[in-house]
């Protein structure tokens, strides 16, 4: 994303001298950086979500019922963008049924597990909703520009969408509310199936 920006500002947890780190550990050339500063609260977790253990003990909500239904649509070994919130639950239910799905989060990670157990959480491992997540062995991370390229380029088998409004035929209202942090779903048009 910094390649296309007019001005790139980097907030870093640590600033080191030139040559102190190996070239292969660098992810962004200094040529692309216009401003640099050391962050004050590096590593702060914004939305701490932890694995609650045995789901059989909790009361089923409407959200759980919808997520369980969505999980039945997952084909083992397929790739899916689930976003966050209710949609993250869907991949959890699929995993509990033994159907492994390569879950992609638009902020740049594929092969995401559920929420971490207490002590396993990290501010570096979050989903698009800023919730703590647990990458599973074999996961990979990349820039959000690559992530949206996967989505728009038709590289994902399925997308699970949340909707503010939906018709009886499944038509999703795709709009923005001025001044509100509500996003639309138009960028997810590339996946082969939508649920």
Residue 94, Cβ density class (10 Å: 0-12 exposed, 13-18 middle, ≥19 buried) = buried
On the CB side of 60, CA atoms within 13 Å amount to: 9
CA nearest neighbour of 95 among 112, 117, 107: 112
Catalytic residue among 52, 106, 120, 131: 106
Asked if 73 is an active-site residue, the reply is no
| Catalytically annotated residues | 106
């Amino acid at each position: 994303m910094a390649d296309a920006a007019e001005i790139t500002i980097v907030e870093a947890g640590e600033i080191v001298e030139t040559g102190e780190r190996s070239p292969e550990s660098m992810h962004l050339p200094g040529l692309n950086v216009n401003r640099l500063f050391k962050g004050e609260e590096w590593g702060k977790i914004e939305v701490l979500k932890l694995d609650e253990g045995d789901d059989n003990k909790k009361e089923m909500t409407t959200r759980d019922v919808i997520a369980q239904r969505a999980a039945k649509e997952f084909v083992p070994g397929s790739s899916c963008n689930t976003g966050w919130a209710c949609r993250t639950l869907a991949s959890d239910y699929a995993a509990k049924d033994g159907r492994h799905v390569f879950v992609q989060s638009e902020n740049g990670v594929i092969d995401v597990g559920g929420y971490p157990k207490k002590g396993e959480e990290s501010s570096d491992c979050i989903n698009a909703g800023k919730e703590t997540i647990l990458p599973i062995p074999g996961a990979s991370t990349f820039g959000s520009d690559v992530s949206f390229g996967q989505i728009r380029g038709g590289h994902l088998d399925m997308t699970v969408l949340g909707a503010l409004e939906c018709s009886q035929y499944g038509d999703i209202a795709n709009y923005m509310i001025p001044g509100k942090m509500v996003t639309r779903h138009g960028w997810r048009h590339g996946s082969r199936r939508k649920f």
